Amino acid sequence: MVGAQWGDEGKGKITDLLSRSADVVVRYQGGVNAGHTVVVNDTTFKLHLIPSGILYPETKCLIASGTVIDPKVLVQELDNLQALGIPADNLRISQTAHVTMPYHRLIDLAEEERKGENKIGTTGRGIGPTYADKSDRTGFRVLDLMCPDRFRAKLDWVLPLKNVLLEKLYGLEALDAEAIQAEYMLYAERLGQYVVDTALFIDQAVRSRKNILFEGAQGTLLDLDHGTYPYVTSSNPISGGACVGSGVGPTIIDRVIGVTKAYTTRVGEGPFPTELKDEVGQHLGDVGAEFGTTTGRARRCGWFDAVIGRYAVRINGLDCLAITKLDVLDELDEIKVCVAYKIDGQKVTEIPLDVHLFGRCEPIYETLPGWKTFTSDCRTVEELPKAAYNYLKFLAAQTGIPVAIVSLGAARGQTIIVEDPIHGPKRGLLYDGDLAVHPLGAE
């Protein structure tokens, strides 16, 4: 399951829903820069590293090697779950995942400030610097965290180099090795019980014919290789990243589910062709509560971008969509969908890979009627207003894949399951291969 836009698509709720049918849920990339919110009854769970499947007592939840782990935040998440009566006995942490260190956070914030107008809008959580050290082979892995002597020996080698950066380049105070050692050994003591070889764990689950859900963080357009570079994250949120980050072969994956909002949002800097800086954009932000789970930053809002949608289908090999926040559109008189771009007067139907060209894209819209009816109580597609049903049909036709799930609110029950993507047969629901908009119930 992957995000099909710029992240923040509501993947936490969809993971929670799909976890009912999953024996194992695997988080395969990203770090605490991701935030998943799940609402169960009247309780809101905000998760950053632990997969949303932790709310199901029988589901095993893995943080695989492709993630980067801030142990301080992970311990806080465990404490929060414990306070809410949620056990974490089924959590497993990869011994080869990399660890975010205190200097990673400081460097992240300082580097964004140094860039000034060229900043990319990171969360400041140290994710990029952690991945940079991983590539530079100077990073700390969970294995190192579990061995005090090894951890200290590496720290005595790496920290002087980082302190030079902190002091000379960024004008910050040097960090103390003793203080870091003491703090991180407390984390090691708390987390040690969960550390395993997660790739082996997954292989054993595959051989036992278990249902495994790979949970992506961020979104397709934030992918390091295939996103709107340089305004991207430091890992690969696309479906191919699940294999690399989890240590599995591509042949074991049989479905790829894309999560997308019924409109589009983006956090941070970078081009956003359908962004609305008017009262409609404000309405989407207010009604959709568009504030980041991790940072609290307001998200930029705009109309649904089908060009991005088709790109996500191609890059990920998506075979169905989960569309979230359809209810946010309930009060609008009309709704627009971007079906192509115009660059210097020329129509284009694909995303330019050059971010400077992408920044010059003007959206070409198709306008559909709104439904002016509240949808949050609908539980089948037949109960949807005709215009809402037609809107979903149009999105399916524009992206070329069926809609399997429709979310109409934050609560678990505010969902239409058109098809169970794990147990259900692959069918062309809400999509019949053309661009026609059909009346409610017609196929």
Give the residue numbers marked as catalytic.
Answer: 8, 36
Measuring CA to CA, which residue among 295, 311, 385, 378 is closest to residue 349?
311
C-alpha R_g of the chain: 22
Residue 352 sits at φ, ψ, to 5 deg, of -65, 135
Euclidean distance between CA atoms 121 and 113, whole angstroms: 10
Q: Which amino acid is at 85?
A: G
Q: What share of the chain is helix, strand, coil (3-state, %, to 5)?
A: 35, 20, 40
Residue 305: phi, psi to the nearest 5? Answer: -110, 105
Closest-CA residue to 66 (of 313, 244, 200) = 244
| Three-state DSSP class for residue 334 | strand
Of all helices (H) and strands (E), which one includes residue 149? helix 148-164
Q: Would you give the end-to-end CA distance of the chain in angstroms? A: 27
